[in-house]
Amino acid sequence: MSCIIEWDETLSLTKRRDPSSLAFSFTQTCMKIKFRFSIGPWNISEGRDPYGPETRPVRDLAWKLPLFKKGGFDAVMFHDDDVVPEIDSKSAARVLEEAAQVRRQLEDEGLFAEMVAPRLWFSERTIDGGFTSNRAQDREYAIERSLRTIDIANTLGTKLIVLWLAREGTYLRESKSCVRSMELLAQAVNKMLDHDPEIRIAIEPKPNEPVDVAYLPTLGHALAFAHLTRDPARVGAVVESAHCVLAGLDPADELEFALAQKKLWSVHLNDQNGLKFDQDKPFGSVSLRSAFNQVRVLDQHAYGAKDGACIAFDAHSFRTSSINHALDHATNSRKTFLRLLEKVRSFDEAGAAALIADRDYQALDQMVLNHLLAS
Ligand code: XUL
Ligand code: MN
């Protein structure tokens, strides 16, 4: 994997423990991670919401890919039917042919596929969930479709499968059993792991929407669930900022929790204004300080340096945006990330460590604000 890290002189990330406090401070000696950025075709959306229709025309992949490249993105994340539209009506051979065609399109644009996720929430066969549906034929469909997703991923040249378990939960608590649902989920994931011994499955937790109560609402649930599968080492996570906010959790802490377990295999950075509907706002749009802390932990722990994991922005255009500005939310998210990276790298870590040693958190608070406000 080329150019993940640009080294100047040394090859060390040194971790220094301040003897007078419990805090760790990090000195990134001459090391600069060169982050790689990713985006999904669904992030150029048409503006539909539950109360109104599309506000922008549909654009195909051939239109989107050059735009992604021009916007500074290196990789593309896909749902299975982003790669092969109307996938359920096509033969296995046809699906792979179309996937191969998309791979050529990606290569022509100098892009690569980051991950593929089965879209298990749209079909009439997944109305009550896929893997945890109460109907056996729905469960079979969900597993079959997920195995096809792995075949598509192989054709595109990625080994990362994302599972956002949209409808694996309940609208009505009495309709399913959690223990039974964990068994069903583990059976499904085991079949996926068996299908290709090289794939890794990253679960993307979200507490609600579309279901009332999701079975894997947080990162902690997802990582605990990994241990119910045949190969926990191959089951990790994607952390999305907005999903953390929806669960009342701090996105930077969630990222760091996954990093501590070596299970942060992708990130969906965006923003969310409180416990409301899923908003997928541009990164930093609601809380710049939270965004600063997210960038800081990713940089401190050299996210992606070893495994090439990408920074994805799972944001959407505002409904009011015209098609000419359909990617601005993503290019702006990327610019904000890079500006915050400068802020992270110019933060006075030694000064912060001294304030932590003194337990002067009031001064530390103001120091962070002053740093963010300084031009
Ligand atoms: C849903 C969400 C999805 C996943 C991919 O909230 O974030 O778009 O990222 O299936
Ligand atoms: Mn997401």
Atom of ligand 1 nearest to the CA of 238: 9
Residue 337 has pLDDT above 50, yes or no: yes
Q: Residue 33 — pLDDT band, cuts 50, 70, 90?
A: confident
| Ligand 1 pocket check for 316: Cβ under 6 Å | no
Distance CA 289, CA 110 (A): 34
Percent of the chain with pLDDT over 90: 91
Mean pLDDT of 32-54: 96
| CATH of 31-345 given 3.10.450.50, 3.30.160.100, 3.30.70.100, 3.20.20.150 | 3.20.20.150
Q: Kindly calculate the radius of gyration of the chain based on its CA atoms and give it in whole angstroms.
A: 21
Residue 140 has pLDDT above 90, yes or no: yes
Q: Whose CA is nearest to atom 1 of ligand 1?
A: 164
Mean pLDDT of 98-106: 98
Residue 82 has pLDDT above 90, yes or no: yes
| Ligand 1 pocket check for 204: Cβ under 6 Å | yes
| Ligand 1 pocket check for 82: Cβ under 6 Å | no
Which ligand has an atom closest to residue 164 CA? 1
Active site residue 79: yes
- Which pLDDT value is given to residue 333? 98
Q: Residue 31 — pLDDT band, cuts 50, 70, 90?
A: low
Residue 276 has pLDDT above 60, yes or no: yes
- Which pLDDT value is given to residue 21? 41
Among the ranges given (14-23, 287-296, 357-366), the one the predictor scored with the smallest mean pLDDT: 14-23
- Which pLDDT value is given to residue 66? 98
The rounded mean pLDDT for the chain is 93
- Which pLDDT value is given to residue 4? 46
Domain extents for the chain? 31-345
Residue 8 has pLDDT above 60, yes or no: no
Active site residue 82: yes
Residue 65 has pLDDT above 70, yes or no: yes
- Which pLDDT value is given to residue 10? 34
16 vs 80, higher pLDDT: 80
- Which pLDDT value is given to residue 79? 98
Distance CA 75, CA 71 (A): 11
Q: Residue 32 — pLDDT band, cuts 50, 70, 90?
A: confident
